[in-house]
Amino acid sequence: MIQEEAAEKIHNQLLSALESARMRLSVAIAMEAKSTPRHRWQYYLETTDRMRRFAKQLRNTDMEELQSLGGWYRALETLSNLPDPARASCLCEILQGIVAELE
């Protein structure tokens, strides 16, 4: 029972941290919108979309599957230490790496 509660807490923390990071990325993208070249704009949108899809997938992941994800602890650590303020390109690199590791 305790392990299940701990896994659920980790699940919720990871999901919350991902959603928070996605919102920060959206704000950074909006702040840079006028000066962003088209190819970089597409990269930003792809990153945001990939994070959204991963968060949706994570919501449907049961606790046992989450425990099998090896990088969840490192992902939580990285998400809690995101630079503030950060440029959208920096956030994209970090977040793409996190999602790639967890997928």
**What residues contact residue 93 under an 8 Å CB cut-off, 6+ apart?**
none
Query: Do 93 and 43 touch, CB atoms closer than 8 A?
Result: no
The alpha carbon of residue 27 and the mean position of all alpha carbons in its chain are separated, in whole angstroms, by 14
Report cis status (omega within 30 of 0) of the bond before 85. yes
- Residue 76: give the domain boundaries: 2-102
SS3 category, 32: coil
Q: What is the pTM assigned to this prediction?
A: 0.82
pLDDT in tens, 31-85: 988 888 888 989 999 999 999 998 898 888 766 666 666 678 888 899 999 988 8
Angle between helices 72-80 and 88-102 (to 10 degrees): 160
The alpha carbon of residue 15 and the mean position of all alpha carbons in its chain are separated, in whole angstroms, by 8
Angle between helices 2-31 and 88-102 (to 10 degrees): 150
pLDDT in tens, 15-24: 999 999 999 9
